[in-house]
Structure formats: structure tokens, C-alpha cells
Amino acid sequence: MNTAKKTNILNIGKIVSKILEIICWMGVAALLFSAVAGIFNPEWMTQNMIADGGLTMNGVEMQINQNASLASVIIVLLGGVIGFVTLALLFHNMHKVLTRAMQGEYFTEGNITRIERIGWLSILMPVIGFVTSVLAKIFGGPDALEISVDLTGIVMGILVMCLSQFFAHGVKLENDVDGLV
């Protein structure tokens, strides 16, 4: 692959990861607003959140019906906040890796740490969703929510963790070559 094409791909990835990070932080703000509005005005929550019938966050899809308690909806929203923060951190680390790569710094200890962090954050996403759904089920009752969990994040996280080990090997090889010269 030629250098210009590589640079374009890295630049696009860098821009997209920063945009997605910003969108995640906006999602945090929106969900916090919704949770606070629901606490202070439960009727607003019933009209605006439960009326729509569903939330999908962190690989967990929850169909909320009128039997859902305010507590379960607040738990889902706060779980979404934690999920969005996790996702924002994932995109932040991705942006840093791509920034370093554009500077020609592929195999660095910092990138290994960031890539490992991306892997852990990917694994954490469905875990957050599962814990959120269990808590919402406990507080909302068995008939209040339908739950489905997507485990794709765990698989991707494991793959990224393996990739970080390839980068660690690259750092070792680069250090060995530098020691020979």
C-alpha cells in the first residue's frame, strides 16, 4: 500500500474516532439529563422514555413497557451513561493510537498500552450492559423488561488484546534492531 493511501486511511480513522468520541460525550450529557429529568419529573419520564418502548445501549436491548418502574428506567439510563463513558474512552485511545501512527510511531510502549486498553474497554461494554440489565430486572420486576445481550464486544476485545501482543513483539524487534545499529 502506498504511503499517501496509508496516510489517508489513518487520517480518516483519526477524524472519525474523534467525532465518535465527541458524540459519546454528548450521549453522556443527554442520558444524564434524562435521568435527572426523570427523577424530578416522573411524568416526563413516562411520556418521553417509557412511551417509546425501547432502549438499546451497550449491546443490551431493553423493551420497556408500562410495568417498568422509574427506578429500572433510571438504572438503564445510568448504565447507558457508564457505557457511553467507556465507549468515549475507547475512541479516545483509538484516536491516540492513530495520531502516533501518523507520526510514524507504530511500535511504542504507549501504543501497546492504548491497544490493550481498547481491548479491555471492548470487553467491558457487554459486561456493563449485562449488569445494567440484571439491576433493571431486579428493580423493575420480571415482566418490566425484555433483555438481549450482544457478546460481540467480548470477541472483539479478545482479538484486540491479541493484536496488542503483536505490537509488543514489534516493539521488542524494533528495540533489538536499534541495539544492533
Q: How confident is the model at residue 91, as a pLDDT?
A: 98
Kindly report the number of other CB atoms within 10 A of residue 6's CB atom: 12
Q: How confident is the model at residue 66, as a pLDDT?
A: 59
Strand pairing class (60-64; 145-149): antiparallel
Q: How many Cα atoms sit within 13 Å of 104 on the Cβ side?
A: 2
Residue 157 in grid coordinates: 476485545
Question: Which mean pLDDT values do the consecutive 10-residue runs of the chain (181 residues) have?
Answer: 77 96 95 85 68 55 62 83 95 96 88 95 91 82 66 93 91 78 59
98/76 Cα distance (integer angstroms): 32
Q: How confident is the model at residue 138, as a pLDDT?
A: 82
| Sheet architecture: strand order including 60-64 | 54-57, 60-64, 145-149
Q: How confident is the model at residue 53, as a pLDDT?
A: 57
Q: How confident is the model at residue 22, as a pLDDT?
A: 97
